[in-house]
Amino acid sequence: MGEHVILGIDPGYARMGWGVLKLSGGTPVTVECLGFGCVETPKEEEMGTRLAYLNDALAQIITHYQPNDIAIEELFFAKNQKTAMQVAHARGVIMMRASMHSGRIFEYRPNVIKKAVAFDMKADKKQVMAAVTQILKFERAPKLDDAADALAIAITHATVAK
């Protein structure tokens, strides 16, 4: 198999979670977490500036890790239409930047991600965070659930796209 790097992204307007995994070896495949975090946009800025901030931050992450695949959570309709629109704008910027790098983006629905990592399509945030912590053999869970969600998306892609 060689090495294969996956960037998982949990899209957001105020915060964008990201996580990078490296798969290597044959059978069994070894999984190593190369990094994860959360990009927070400045609250005092207007939308265009915040979207540009996301674009620049994602460009730096992609340049640093050089992922083979980029996976992102599909947009689901939230009760708050304003929030849904803001996330949709952020997702558009993220998808544009990702496709400029790799040409293809892999998208996964939230229930598919939950099933892939926690074996339960209705898992809550705590269950997903616990599953990510266990799968990646972390001593403690990532501080922000956005980063844990991004790692869950990368794990899902590693599992689904074999």
Catalytic amino acids? 10, 73, 146
> How many other β-carbons are positioned within 10 Å of the β-carbon of residue 126?
12
Q: How far is CA 56 from CA 50, 59, 88, 149, in A?
A: 10, 5, 18, 21
Q: Cα Rg for the chain, rounded, in angstroms?
A: 15
- Rounded (5°) CA angle 66-3-15: 40
Coil/strand/helix, residue 46: coil
* CA 154 – CA 162 distance, rounded (Å): 12
Sequence length of the chain is 162
Beta bridge partners of 33: 21
Half-sphere exposure of 5 (CA within 13 A, CB side): 15
